[in-house]
Structure 1
Amino acid sequence: MERPNFRGQLKLLILKMLDEKPMHGYGIMAELESRYGVPHPSPGTVYPILASLKRAGLIETVGSGKREKKLYRTTERGREYLREHEEELRSVLELTERFIEFRKIGGVELARALKDVFNSINELSEEQKKTLAEEFMDFTKRVRLILLGETKGQEKSS
């Protein structure tokens, strides 16, 4: 499986947002989270992307006075880049929609729980590992049945 290029995906999302309206860094972070479901985007992630976009001539800054927040906006070159990468942007937007839905059904909490199991696997007793293995097997079966369109009332007994 190919590893997702999250930085490249964020780059496209940020460029799209700035094409819609000029924004400052904090506004970009807030909108990435509220609109696209990006969990807690940090300044350490967003500002290097903005610097990269600016170096590439895809965005520019406006209003950098002492009290004035620095606003970022796309350049003509940035708009051209978005047009050239329209299909990739569409894929990223579809991915963010899936992530938002996944989050709504508790997928993020499930992923955290699995990460907790992974991180503590060496400290678990054999009994705990056995119980988790059974739970995972049952859960996996139920999930696959749901994905096949079968609900609790329709499940066939094995």
Structure 2
Amino acid sequence: MRADAVRGHLDGLLLAVLEQGPLHGYAIIAAVQQRSGGVLDLRTGTIYPALNRLERLGLLTSSWDAVGERRRRCYALTDAGRSSLASERAAWREFTTAIGSVLNPGVQPRPAT
């Protein structure tokens, strides 16, 4: 999949994989890759700036976790992050309905709820 296809949806992807609990950066990458069936392969240079931005916005919190002698930063959703994820999902449904209506003109879209 083209990298630019993910642009604009990265925040929602990151928030969604953190919905079930805290993860460190590489685990977030692996979760996105697994949940997308291997189609989405995010790079560390893409997700870490996004994670830091989401934390500055108050949508995530982070803490340091020690694994043996290694430390890694784990990220978790805040209440504001959960609310933002709900908004992202609603916007995604609206977007896919609109695009689907154009690409598949014989299929009638459902009214927005």
Work out whether the TM-score is over 0.5.
yes
| TM-score (structure 1 length as normaliser) | 0.49
**Residue type at the aligned position of 1:22:** P
Change (3 A) 1:50 1:91: farther
- Give 3-state SS (helix, strand or coil) of 2:61's partner: strand
Query: Structure 2 unaligned runs (5+)?
Result: 97-113
**Residue type at the aligned position of 2:82:** R
| TM-score (structure 2 length as normaliser) | 0.66
Note if 1:18 corresponds to 2:18: yes
- Give 3-state SS (helix, strand or coil) of 1:83's partner: helix
**Residue type at the aligned position of 1:86:** R
Q: What's the CA shift for 1:79?
A: 0.8
- Which one has a larger percent helix, Structure 1 or Structure 2? 1
C-alpha RMSD of matched pairs (Å): 2.4
- Which one has a larger percent strand, Structure 1 or Structure 2? 2
Question: Is the Cα–Cα contact under 8 Å of residues 12 and 89 in structure 1 kept in the other structure?
Answer: no
Change (3 A) 1:89 1:27: farther
Q: Give the total of aligned pairs.
A: 90
Q: What's the CA shift for 1:84?
A: 2.5
Query: What's the CA shift string for 1:67-98, capped at 9, x where partnerless?
Result: 33211000111011112233124468x7xxxx
Percentage identity across paired residues of the two chains: 34
| Bigger-Rg structure (1/2) | 1
What does residue range 1-158 of structure 1 map to in structure 2 within 5 Å? 6-36=6-36, 37-64=38-65, 67-90=70-93
- Report which structure shows greater RCO (CA 8 Å, sep ≥6): 2
